A = this chain, B = another copy of it.
Amino acid sequence: MAPSRTAARRRHPTLFIIGGAEDRVGKATVLRRFVRLAGGRSARIVVIPTASSFQDEVVAAYTEVFTRLGAPEPSVVNPQDRAEAHDEALVALLDDATGIFMSGGSQLKLSQRFPGTPLGEALHRAHERGAVIGGTSAGASIMSQFMISMGDEGITPRQRHSQLSAGLGLLEGVIIDQHFAQRSRYGRLMAMVAASPSLIGIGIDEDTAIEVRGRQVFTVHGSGAVFVLDCRSAVSDAPEARRGAPLMVSGAVVHSLPAGATFDLAEVRLVDFVEKHADAAVALATAKA
């Protein structure tokens, strides 16, 4: 039945976008799902550690966990500059992959080497043919068309406290942010969406992922929550507010979505929710409460 499963994946381009700090040593719920989407025992996974300052350690860590979860040893694609992003051997690795995983680190390192290069085009081709494109932290932010590359912490949206850069555009019409609750990024994402209300903000907690199928519908996995910020009907003083001032944003529609939620990004609404049982991380949170 392997050919038909491959065909099914071809019909559903899939992104797997993780908010950082996913569990690797416990049940590894989030990474287990990525390995399964990549094809499990028959997966051909490529790790891209380029965002990180500790690339050898990142490759070793993901090699350990992906093989422990049943996948063959992954390949590595790690361009050191924009010129190397034209390397045909690296392009060939991405063209052959069933799963591609971008690590955390600095999303600006990724934006220097992937958008608009042959490696970036290979990522788009891989997505198109149904390979799962995964990324965590910086590797999550780079997926969207607009990417928050810098910003401050806090709940209050403030004027000119964040910076947008161009991401890969694998997912259009959104801004993805990560480490969302842990680094209190509600304010910075709301400020960006208030200034660009045609975009939908997606804030992903640590150890939490969205699985985006067919560029439109996502399902939540992991121990935290995913926030969706929708300012299409909001009013804001983003055109007038002074630098540093708290922004007025009235009428934003906000969704906080734990594992089991399915959300339609085209209609911007919850389409399904299945209450999940406790997993290890939630049990831990409960014990500390």
Binding site for B on A (CB under 8 A): 152, 154-158, 160-161, 180-181, 184, 186-187, 190, 205, 223-225, 227, 235, 237, 240-258, 260-261, 263, 269-270, 273, 275, 278, 282-283, 285-287, 289
Contact = CB atoms under 8 A, between A and B. Distances in A.
A258 B156 CA distance: 10
Contact of A253 (B155, B243, B244, B251): B251
A184 B205 CA distance: 15
Given A187-B181, A235-B270, A224 B246 contact: yes
A246 B275 contact: no
A220 B68 CA distance: 55
A246 B263 CA distance: 16
B273 A248 contact: yes
Copies in the complex: 2
B255 A251 contact: yes
Contact of A156 (B157, B224, B241, B269): B224
6 contacts: A241-B258, A242-B286, A244-B282, A250-B269, A250-B270, A251-B253
Contact of A285 (B155, B244, B253, B285): B244
A187 B244 CA distance: 24
B252 A247 contact: no
A248 B276 CA distance: 11
A224 B254 CA distance: 21
B258 A205 contact: no
Contacts of A184: 155, 184
Contacts of A227: 155
Contacts of A253: 251-254
Nearest to A227: B155
Nearest to A186: B155
B242 A205 contact: no
Given A187-B181, A275-B237, A289 B244 contact: yes
Nearest to A283: B244
Instruction: Point out which of A161, A258, A260 has the most chain B C-beta atoms below 10 A from its C-beta.
Output: A258
B285 A158 contact: yes
